[in-house]
Structure 1
């Protein structure tokens, strides 16, 4: 049993490693891509926004696929799919081809991500918070190493950005054999899962949670996309803006790593939603109203966003009564959440073009922080048990 659990844990980590490099590896070599393929900045930005939109849309179908073919088999197939498409970037000869690979990678991520929530619910039901911490941290690490190593890989691999992008298919090559072993040791495709494969579209709590996840995702991608530009507008150099952006990403790691321990000490989801949202709002306020070094703001933004994103992964698992239900709740929240998140950076850019400054957009993001906090309080609101005449916490948000 111990070996089986270790296998499932390592498989989860390697699957999570595959969920970001196909998107994040593009930005370090974007200049070379635009020069060689003749892409405008607007069309090049689609290499990030298209995967996010496709991620959200395809998440809607994850539960149906898992219901028909078994969750572990579906995860394995689409990890391999992500790897094959990533490797195919070595043959890129046009901007359209590269955009198609971005679309397919986003589709694969959209299927795998919610099913991993169901996988955690199925095989680690008593350790969901810890597994979500490991899952979130693995995604952050995968994103970080792809951002940091793609440019050196480009130089090492015949000075080709195509080779640098294609290199990340190696993560799938490592993960797929473990997932083939997982399939042999897993028996989770039950009749009860089949009955619960539909999305909770008529569930009010699911829509409240989806709204919460959507706004958290929007805030995260807004400052993730525009933080360096905001720093530059404040009078710092573009190089320093890049450093601040990297620090914000690294600052996510403590929150994702420590969240399980924090929840064991203080298990209230409402408390941590409040603390992490205030951390994000503090970072935005420092950028908006003070001249304090942006490094402090980036740390607040990173810690807050890392904690909130981890909670958006955990809350659907808390709600679900079965692995399939966890997958469908995760699919619904992530589908709409990432669609909203994909348009967030565009909205901020549009407002900046109209208003000529990022300061009003920071006001908007701070206001969104208040809305996120209110939604967080709403979905963690205690329910009154009329039969017993006492106040009891909803199991979803204990």
Structure 2
């Protein structure tokens, strides 16, 4: 299938009114498209620091707030829970307000949540502030593929690669910079984590301009008396699609692997004798691998009719990294960090697949919300089970066995999800 041609054709067909995420809008101006590109990059930079910046300081936060080991383990699963709960609201919010307005609100929520976390005097307030930030991340997660499909329908691969690269940069940057920045700001974890609110505030600027430009375009369209033509296409039953379910399970398993890595990899290295700053750097290396690969991989995936070979290749890298952590966690730390970083690029791969598995932006918003909400629900037990197994066994071999089993399942369902099918076909 020539996806670029299909994408272009999909623009000419109005989405079914029953499940269209937004009113049909005129093509954006060159200035608006530039704002959208800047907005996508800045939004993506904000989608992970709330999580990856916490990992290297988790021990300090735990001691300061008096968290139990179980609650600390819960912190590694709260992102997935929030993404599942709030991500499911994204289609409804997008239909009412438009994707750009919802992403703007998401950036504001991220900024507010990160700004409130330093004022936490106990676990409950810290979790609440984190949930506010994670709610903003959740709706933005779902709507990133929608923004790409709606405004860049002929460049799904490149634009997905661009914001995936920025997302990886934000993830890696937070992991690498948080500890040194905390030390530079006086050594308090509160200052180190709160500083990331500034990045969220910067992202609000271009999205505010995009929303204003969209409202002006809407007024001009209304004044011209144009309206989208009605469509007689049947509503898309996303829950009846085997493709949608396979993408949801694949998304969930790769998310589980990613959050286990972000939440526990620094502790695996620290227990092996690596310093806190060194463990943070290892996580930064892992996340940093996604910066170049997230730009290249979606382009490659968009040119392939079946993405199964990419799924297998990434899975093999993950299995190799787990093997290294079993036998020599400290001795080969750099190699294992690199391999796990390559494996984590299943995330930009599945985002690209979501954009390719529907012919319209209306289908993408439903598929994205379904796959991500379902996937994040599936991913919740993973980090919790890793923490429980580590505490029960006193080591990391049992958790690594679990991680290996999850990776094998991810490879299997990912090959199935990589088939050349669209959800509109019922497959």
Q: Same fold (TM over 0.5)?
A: yes
User: How far apart, CA to CA, are the structure 1 residues paired with 2:191 and 2:268?
Assistant: 32
Using the size of structure 2 for normalisation, the TM-score is 0.80
How far does residue 90 in structure 1 lie from its aligned partner after superposition? 4.2
Q: What is the aligned partner in structure 2 of residue 321 from structure 1?
A: 359
**8 Å CA contact 1:63, 1:198 repeated in 2:** no
Q: Which residue of 1 aligns with 2:323?
A: 285
SS in 2 for 1:201: helix
Alignment partner, residue 56 of structure 1? 84
Cα distance in 2 between the residues matched to 1:247 and 1:225: 15
What SS is found at the alignment partner of 2:344?
helix
| Residue number in structure 2 paired with 1:335 | 373
SS of residue matched to 2:376: helix
**Aligned pair 1:138/2:166, yes or no?**
yes
* Cα deviation 1:244-298 (Å, max 9, x = unaligned): 3332222222321221443467564222112111221222233336787232222
1:30/1:224 Cα in 2 relative to 1: closer, same or farther (>3 Å)? closer
Unaligned segments of structure 2, at least 5 residues = 1-28, 219-226
Checking the alignment, whether the CA contact within 8 Å between 1:62 and 1:328 is kept in structure 2 is no
1:311 aligned to 2:349? Answer: yes
Residue 136 (structure 2) aligned to one of 85, 105, 108: 108
Q: Which runs of 5+ in 1 are unaligned?
A: 382-392
- Equivalences for residues 83-94 of structure 1 within 5 A: 83-94=111-122
Number of residue pairs matched? 383
Tell me if the contact between 1:253 and 1:303 (Cα under 8 Å) persists in the aligned partners: no
> Structure 2: how far apart are the matches of 1:111 and 1:207?
20
- Within a 5 Å distance, the mapping from 1:154-169 to structure 2 comes to 154-157=182-185, 159-169=187-197
> What are the superposed Cα offsets for residues 157-178 of structure 1, whole Å, 9 maximum, x if unpaired?
4654333322222223222221
Q: CA deviation at 1:95?
A: 2.5
Partners of 2:301 and 2:352 within 8 A in 1: no
Q: Conserved in 2, the CA contact under 8 Å of 1:276 and 1:304?
A: yes
The answer (yes or no) to whether the contact 2:169–2:290 under 8 Å persists in 1 is no
Equivalent residue, structure 1, for 2:295: 257
Larger mean CA deviation between 166-175 and 204-213 belongs to 166-175
1:297 aligns with 2:325: no
Give the TM-score of the pair, scaled to structure 1.
0.85
Compared CA separation, residues 77 and 360, structure 1 to 2 (3 A) = closer
Q: After superposing the two structures, state which structure 1 stretch, 353-362 or 199-208, moved more.
A: 353-362
RMSD: 3.0
Q: Which residue, 223, 226, 234 being the options, matches 2:261?
A: 223
Residues 137-183 of structure 1, C-alpha deviations (whole Å, 9 max, x = no match): 11121122223333344344465433332222222322222112212
- Which residue of the partner structure matches residue 8 of structure 2? none
Corresponding residue to 1:16 among 30, 33, 44: 44
Counterpart secondary structure, 2:61: helix
More divergent stretch after superposition (71-80 vs 320-329)? 320-329
Question: Counterparts of 2:39 and 2:265 in 1: how far apart (Å)?
Answer: 33
Q: Structure 1 residues 349 and 241, CA, compared in 2 at 3 Å: closer, same or farther?
A: same
Q: Which residue does 1:34 correspond to in 2? A: 62
Displacement after TM superposition at 1:359 (Å): 2.5
Could you tell me how far apart the structure 2 residues matched to 1:312 and 1:331 are?
13
1:123, 1:101 → 2: CA distance?
A: 32
Using the alignment, how far apart are the partners of 1:222 and 1:177 within structure 2? Answer: 33
Alignment partners' CA distance in 1, 2:173 and 2:281 = 15
Corresponding position: 1:149 with 2:187: no
Q: Label 1:17 to 1:190 Cα distance change in 2 as closer, same or farther (>3 A).
A: farther
